Amino acid sequence: MRTRIETRFADSRAADLSLAYGLPRLPAVAEHYIVLHGVEAELRLLGASHQVILGAWSETVACLPDRADKLPAREEIVENGLRFQFGAQTLHLAGPALADRIAGIIRECTLDDNAIVGSFPGSPLAITAVRAWEEKSGTAWRTWHAYPQARELVETRTVVTPV
């Protein structure tokens, strides 16, 4: 699913992102509801950040002013009989590499019923996207947060499996 977000893109940078679990639903600029392995999931775009709600659990990657910790490269938690494995990387893309990568993300997410990509006015490279899928023993999703002024693309991947 592709949506145009009418909120002006307030560019930030990858270093401002942090990860939080268990937050309540934050104000979203776009939402997409899906079902994975019989469990309802919400893919929520919060501007240049995201929130995934899976049942009663949530993952939020955002510029959260009350959190001092930064986005971890890897993190694993076990909660309510589920293992959550999170990974993140920041790519610094020069020349046409950022535009090419963004075009691929938009194409991939537009063709997938379990994905949402939001484009912001002001820059064709300003996007936030979430794509989820079922795995044999669990659920997974990838996200992309583009910061075109800094030529940064933050990619995350989360895998949720029973313990």
pLDDT tens for 85-128 read: 999 999 999 889 999 999 999 999 999 999 999 888 778 898 99
The domain locations on the chain are: 2-162
Mean pLDDT score, 152-157: 96
Residue 109 backbone class (left: φ over 0; alpha: ψ -120 to 50; beta: rest) = alpha
Residue 83 burial by Cβ neighbours in a 10 Å radius (0-12, 13-18, 19+): middle
Residue 147 burial by Cβ neighbours in a 10 Å radius (0-12, 13-18, 19+): buried
Which residues is 83 bridged to in the sheet?
78, 161
DSSP at 107: H
Q: What pLDDT is attached to residue 7?
A: 57
pLDDT tens for 8-65 read: 555 477 888 999 999 999 989 899 999 998 889 999 998 778 999 998 899 999 887 7
pLDDT confidence tier of residue 5, bands split at 50, 70 and 90 = low
> For the chain, where are the E strands, in sequence order?
2-4, 18-21, 30-36, 39-45, 50-54, 57-62, 74-79, 82-92, 115-119, 127-135, 138-147, 152-162
- Percentage of the chain lying above the pLDDT 90 cut: 61
Strand 39-45 to 30-36 pairing: antiparallel
Asked if residue 69 has pLDDT above 80, the reply is no
**Is the pTM here over 0.85, yes or no?**
yes
Mean pLDDT score, 65-74: 81
pLDDT confidence tier of residue 6, bands split at 50, 70 and 90 = low
